[in-house]
Structure 1
């Protein structure tokens, strides 16, 4: 059935993106601005920031049928089984009513050992959402958190208009792949979205897989974005990459916070240390793929450091938690709006026993929901850090 109302996807329909790039197909949401991307053109960061975690289309309509035309980019990893297609979640007046995925699109073939990739072209796909509730309503289409998505057009069987921004507090969150949503199954199920929906806040998610590395350009991006509350989940990627030693870590964290405070001198700011991850609690990085398991088609991570290297200043999650807590306690003497949360309160050893990390690094769907619910209670409920 041909729908009567058509429009290219326009910027005012898109929420949760830092910047929009116009491509041959349509609009590509970015979660870092172009000037920041230019300062370190790393393929991992480029892939993560262009995956629209927390980005959604939002509009008012009486339509019962809506179609979104989008061009996704799939990832293929050598001999491993293909990843599931990214999901698009449709919410009507805040309630999840449908979910769909697009089978086609571009394909990025990635060599996991070398990190190189080759892009194969593809065609836009049409996702059809029929049987939506009748009457005037707010519709949100949350885009896949782990699949680059170019937005082409929107069709409906009734007029639609962009949903005005504002009315909710803006929560700006930065973190690692766990914050981006790795191993969650759908975009409304990643822990920051779970928390944001429960708290009734407007989420801007700057969770970047493998790239929460205290980069100055990330701090400047946060500094320059509007926010009513800010949270920073720091540490795991520092260990994963074996990026720095203890001597550098403290001053870099201070500098990161200093930069954010230039733009947000009194905004409630919550520093969150790493959630529980057994392989790195006492063992430093780097983190590497288990090559033998990879050849079998299983993705598994291993800690490649050793306990003795802590004496040389190598970082573990335990060391990072201790340092972050000290830094926040010191700064909080002059900054009453700065707070600390031990990440193990969100996901700890007892949770690992119930909801283990299948690849030894990333929580699954049930753990994402648990983390989101706990974060909402700890951070947003009355009397909490940033309530």
Structure 2
């Protein structure tokens, strides 16, 4: 009906020409992510030390970067107070560490805004595996559904005011219209290789740190072990000759039994190299220089300092700036005054060397006034 009236009175609306095609596929149904978040978080973050450290490095570094609110007028802007203490149980740094952690593991991060009388009061980070997008007729998300403990809560977007109670941040996904692609999913094959290598090494240690062998029965032709003899022999081998505590213990064999060890070829032993390469692939997927993880064989950076600087410049700061811009767009409709959330890098220890070089270069520019120098360095002008 609205489209008919719009054509009759010559009204125009801003919308995407391609989005209705998305609606043909999804309609008003919920769009579920195709990935298994439980498996990714369990096999990746919980059981793989490389993934665990990558996620922690990125989340903790990004959360330690201050977000400041630039707005006209004097005094602290309400958004500053909201970001400093999002809710009674979390500080701003704790909240954003959770936010960035979810983003790295799931490719999606959600936050709920709790408002009272139309005024934002608190922010809460929500688990991405419990959230699903509810696309509208034109393909854009009209709402979200959060499920926990058998209960469901629906959050709707107010198109008229632009206010949304849910902040959904996602990483780029080339084939999904509503959900992001996690670095962990891109590195899933490398994670499987790394975990399988660890399981193989653990099994080798549990079996006296030696390769498997065969117990050969060399009795007279046609003679075989009875079923009871077979099971008794198997149980004795498992109880008395396997495990680290039994390493090097001599084996006492009865007549007709001979132990034939099965040696591993150099190609079979190459799993150590495969695990190292898998670890490097995981680090590359997350954008963490392998040198920061203590991985051997990395010659990309001359030293730890350069690797750390590259990590901040190429991984952490782009992520923080993307978050700051997204938060500005999400929170702007909730406040009457204009503001902008930006990342404050002036106090980051990792960038101290670059700041010192900037100060020296600007200070040596004799053709600039003091106020111009302060402006270039991001400092307020003298009164």
Tell whether the structures are fold-level matches, with TM greater than 0.5: no
Greater strand share, structure number: 1
